[in-house]
Amino acid sequence: MAPADLWALLPIILVSTTAVVVMLAAAFYRSHTLAATLTVIGLAAAVIASSLAGAQVPRQVTPLVIVDTYAGFYIGLVCSAGLAVALLAHDYLKRRAVRSEEFYVLLLLATAGSLVLVTSGHFASLFLGLEVLQGDCAILGNLR
């Protein structure tokens, strides 16, 4: 894989890595503020990386993933929407008597599924992105 391919995939890599970091932080520390802070930092880095990845487009990373101008725009849009949800949900979840660290992990995984869906260039990657997005959204709807 060429370095230009990694630059094109950097937003997806950042969101996925942030999901793993938040999952580990939630397992060890159980801090709502820490989970929210890590999520905001990761999504903000992905928004910045989406603008940096714009220099690498159009790029067919694999036969399954294509990063072009439209994908770059929607990557920035999805990451910005995830960032807005994380910022708006922090105070709401702080007032509720629930363990809210899982919310941020599921939000990041749903965002990663959306990013795979946006960059899909084949039916297999479209299906994988849709399944990750659908599974996380179903769990988010049942989180109480």
Q: Which residue matches tokens 């939630």? A: 26
Contacts of 19 (CB under 8 A, 6+ apart): 42, 105, 108, 109, 112
Query: Both tokens of residue 4?
Result: 């230009």
Number of domains in the chain: 1
Residue 59 DSSP one-character state = E
> For residue 87, what pLDDT is reported?
94
Q: What are phi and psi of 59, to 5 degrees?
A: -145, 120
> For residue 136, what pLDDT is reported?
61
> For residue 4, what pLDDT is reported?
76
Please give the model's pTM, rounded to 2 decimal places: 0.87
Divide the 144 residues of the chain into consecutive groups of 10 and give the mean pLDDT of each group: 80 94 91 92 93 74 83 91 93 82 89 89 79 69 61
Residue 9: domain span? 3-142
> For residue 24, what pLDDT is reported?
94
> For residue 14, what pLDDT is reported?
95
